[in-house]
A and B are shown apart, each in its own frame.
Chain A
Amino acid sequence: KNQVEQSPQSLIILEGKNCTLQCNYTVSPFSNLRWYKQDTGRGPVSLTIMTFSENTKSNGRYTATLDADTKQSSLHITASQLSDSASYICVVSGGTGFQKLVFGTGTRLLVSP
């Protein structure tokens, strides 16, 4: 069964600190892996998209890594800001043709002043 698991479930860090969120998946075949940020009450916003051949991609203070062999990804947030408080969702696209995204349950991040 196609699944995406994320850890930790929730995380509290101090403003200015770094953190790393983890994602493991069993989706097959694999098309791409995305990280989304979802603020409370809002729709998900795309942070990064990585294909099979990419093992790192950055978007400002966000850096995602992908190990397609071990089926693991991480999202590293550098110098966290209060506005980084949100849920971060790992999403894996499997199969051919149109995108069918399998969502993880997300990591809820709280950045504390």
Chain B
Amino acid sequence: EPEVTQTPSHQVTQMGQEVILRCVPISNHLYFYWYRQILGQKVEFLVSFYNNEISEKSEIFDDQFSVERPDGSNFTLKIRSTKLEDSAMYFCASSFGSGLNQPQHFGDGTRLSIL
């Protein structure tokens, strides 16, 4: 069964550095998402992306964050100047459509640790 793959599985970065988290969504999916889960807390929506543009974003997704689909397969999340509070598990997800019954398929996440 096709899967969403995320790399790296664990990223350790110094505070203030830029970090790029990478995702390869399922190949025929059209809608892409990023979520984060701070340790011990609930999953939180960050952003949704369709047709090469952001369709929705949460309050968390401020100017430090950006997303890009640089080619036909990758979907990236960039954090420009990381802060300690950015430490979390970041999940990428994709779906074929945005309809009511379209399941989102999640990757296994990238654990981001900011030192």
Residues of A within 8 A of B (CB): 31-32, 34, 41-46, 49, 51, 89, 91, 93, 97-106
Given contacts A98-B55, A99-B95, contact A46 B45 (CB under 8 A): no
Give the interface of B toward A (CB within 8 A).
4, 31, 33, 35, 41-45, 48, 50, 55-56, 58, 91, 93, 95, 98, 100-109
Nearest neighbor of A45 in chain B, beta-carbon distance: B106
User: CB distance B106 to A44 under 8 Å?
Assistant: yes
**Also in contact, A32 and B100, with CB within 8 A (given A98-B55, A98-B56):** yes
**Residue in contact with B108 in the complex, picked from A41, A46, A91, CB distance below 8 Å:** A41
CB A95 to nearest CB in B, in angstroms, measures 8
Bound Cα distance A100, B43 (Å): 12
CB distance from B56 to the nearest CB of A (A): 5
For the A-B complex with A89-B42, A98-B48, A99-B33 known, give 16 more contacts whose Cβ atoms are closer than 8 Å: A32-B100, A34-B103, A41-B108, A42-B109, A43-B91, A43-B93, A43-B109, A44-B43, A45-B106, A46-B105, A97-B56, A97-B98, A99-B104, A104-B42, A105-B41, A106-B42
Chain B residues with CB under 8 Å of A45's CB are 106
**In the complex, which residues of chain A have a beta carbon less than 8 angstroms from the beta carbon of B45?**
100-103
Return the chain B residue nearest A91 by Cβ.
Answer: B43
List A contacts of B98 (CB < 8 A). 97-99
Given contacts A41-B108, A44-B106, contact A31 B42 (CB under 8 A): no
